[in-house]
Amino acid sequence: MKKSERAQIVQNRLESLYPVTTIPLDHKDTYTLLVSVLLSAQCTDKMVNRVTPSLWKLADNPFDMARKNVESIREIIKPCGLSPRKSKAIKELSSILVDEHGGKVPKSFEALERLPGVGHKTASVVMSQGFGHPAFPVDTHIHRLAQRWGLTNGRSVVQTETDLKNLFAESTWNKLHLQIIFYGREHCTARGCDGKVCGICAELFPNRKKAVLTKK
């Protein structure tokens, strides 16, 4: 089976399972989305959604957040992990948004990736889910699934992103990356499937005998 054929099977299966994709992080605008995505690093979306209501009570816009001290932010976001780094980044990026962008979240990868605590994956999520710009955010889970499904040989999320963009139409990227995340959480988890167990893995590689070891 060709890689393009595997990609089509994956897309058809995901579309049938998840015809509607809602953004898993609760937010009300691009600023609260940006902060939520930042908090989600090495943390579940469920935990982020549990923490952010208290954070928004403290400050739900960059003008107010920039005036808060780091410790007050950190105290709220501790359950998300990496709180010293994340709280500092939230305050600093809020100040930059106020000073350099009029309090608005910028609509470019370059400007977003210059913000403290915002890497390419976070910028891609904001561009995709916040602004509707075609992007294919790839986290370690999507990286792992893409390898299990034979869609990439990339040893990094950067290469995997490039390979997935080449396989799928640009118009599908924003929805597809969420569909892969949803499927991974329900059916192709790190512990629940080793490349042989879930429905998609079994369909794509029915004769696979060995587990797929992720190339980092």
Number of Cβ within a 10 Å radius of residue 23: 15
Task: Determine which one of 91, 139, 163, 175 is catalytic.
Answer: 139
**What are phi and psi for residue 116, nearest 5 degrees?**
-60, 135
Say if residues 20 and 75 touch (Cβ distance below 8 Å): no
103-108: long-range contacts (C-beta < 8 A, 24 or more apart)? 103/61, 103/62, 103/63, 104/30, 105/30, 105/31, 105/34, 105/130, 107/131, 107/133
Q: Which amino acid is at 152?
A: T
Task: Determine which one of 86, 91, 121, 175 is catalytic.
Answer: 121
Residue 215 annotated as catalytic: no
Number of Cβ within a 10 Å radius of residue 111: 16
Residue 121 annotated as catalytic: yes
Q: Any idea which residues carry the catalytic annotation?
A: 121, 139
